[in-house]
A and B are shown apart, each in its own frame.
Chain A
């Protein structure tokens, strides 16, 4: 059989964002990964900054001076937002991926109801909780601390 030319059609990173039925869980999948990597990046920077204490008080104060100001306040708030989202969504993922929130196998009767529908109320509760914590945190960051 002669070799036929094929056209590669893998979606790549675009496939994290578009396709399927654009379900909310797809975007949580994306956000969980982005926030996880963001937190990891923060952790590494945090270790670098804090390790300056080992080189004496002057170094420490110099380093702390580098990371203060409004830009870093917003940055720290974003770390907080990422953490709250990642932790609450992570709890949902643990419960789903251990089969606790998926429900058992059932007869597929049209219109189909899948495990995605079973876990969705819990997903909504977790996201509302995250939103409340983020608003409270924002009040603490920008109103209580800044004044």
Chain B
């Protein structure tokens, strides 16, 4: 260790250039790591000082946007919220998330995950389209009803769970933990009114939860504590209960608008929004 606690780490990065390379290879970079540096900071150091062609995806650098998922020493995680000294002593292995095609270096093609996610209708569906698009008030949901799905709504779509799932490793038609946990998040939302439609969708082919055999790895690697494996098993439970005609979710009426006597109106101590700074900002 030299001054200011700077210590050299070897970043062993899996590189792939679609124009020049037939297959990926590893390349070593010696990075002088300051205390507290995240993996993302190390990658920026390489790009700015050693090899400007190194590619990866990142944006928020605070574990919110879901861009920087990668394999760190063989485990999927976010580069931006992992400190180098927490996971390595001398050598840090970096590779793109597996189970997705590699576009370049550390950039996986997550599009198949987003397609599966979209396919499973990750939004509230109900009949009163007019009210949904031009809301006149809030739908009325109790804190207990919120608790049923809040944990799963923290997903940032980073794909770490998909990279860890053994079923998705051999079965490209399996929806996988990210899309399935979001499908459950809406299935169980008391404001939703599409249980039957969702059930039909989840029962077709390998799309639904039944090819998950609870390896649990998705939940262990999830950097946001979403616990997709839990969502998927709770989804199986709801579908089995529905088959036995015992599911509350399948029988419920979707949450209505807040009753008039519950309306509190705007609180006095919340100031009005400032005026627009540009003309006609609508």
Contacts and interface: CB of A to CB of B under 8 A. Distances in A.
Interface of A: 4-16, 18-21, 23, 25-26, 28-30, 32-33, 93, 96-100, 102-110, 112, 114-116, 119
A99 B151 contact: no
B102 A7 contact: yes
A30 B102 CA distance: 26
Contacts of B108: 9
Given A23-B215, A116-B219, A7 B16 contact: yes
B220 A116 contact: yes
B233 A99 contact: yes
B122 interface: no
Given A13-B170, A99-B230, 9 more contacts: A7-B18, A9-B108, A10-B169, A12-B169, A97-B237, A105-B148, A105-B230, A108-B224, A109-B225
11 contacts: A7-B23, A7-B102, A9-B100, A19-B98, A21-B164, A23-B215, A97-B236, A106-B151, A109-B225, A114-B222, A116-B220
B233 A25 contact: no
B214 interface: yes
Interface residues of B, number: 54
A99 B237 contact: yes
Contacts of A98: 233, 236-237, 240
| Nearest 5 CB-CB pairings of A with B | A15-B169, A108-B225, A20-B217, A99-B237, A112-B225
B98 A9 contact: yes
Given A29-B213, A97-B236, A108-B227, A15 B75 contact: no
B48 to A, nearest CB: 25
Interface of B: 16, 18-19, 23-24, 74-76, 96, 98-103, 108-109, 147-152, 154, 163-166, 168-170, 172, 213-222, 224-227, 229-231, 233-234, 236-237, 240
A115 B231 CA distance: 9
B233 A96 contact: yes
Given A15-B166, A93-B214, A97-B214, A10 B233 contact: no
A96 B79 CA distance: 32
Given A98-B240, A99-B234, A116 B103 contact: no
A16 B169 contact: yes
A25 B152 CA distance: 21
Taking each of A11, A93, A103, which has the highest tally of chain B beta carbons within 10 Å of its own beta carbon? A11
B147 A105 contact: yes
A8 B101 contact: yes
Nearest to A109: B225
A10 B217 contact: no
A9 B96 contact: yes
A6 B16 CA distance: 9
Given A8-B101, A116-B219, A15 B230 contact: no
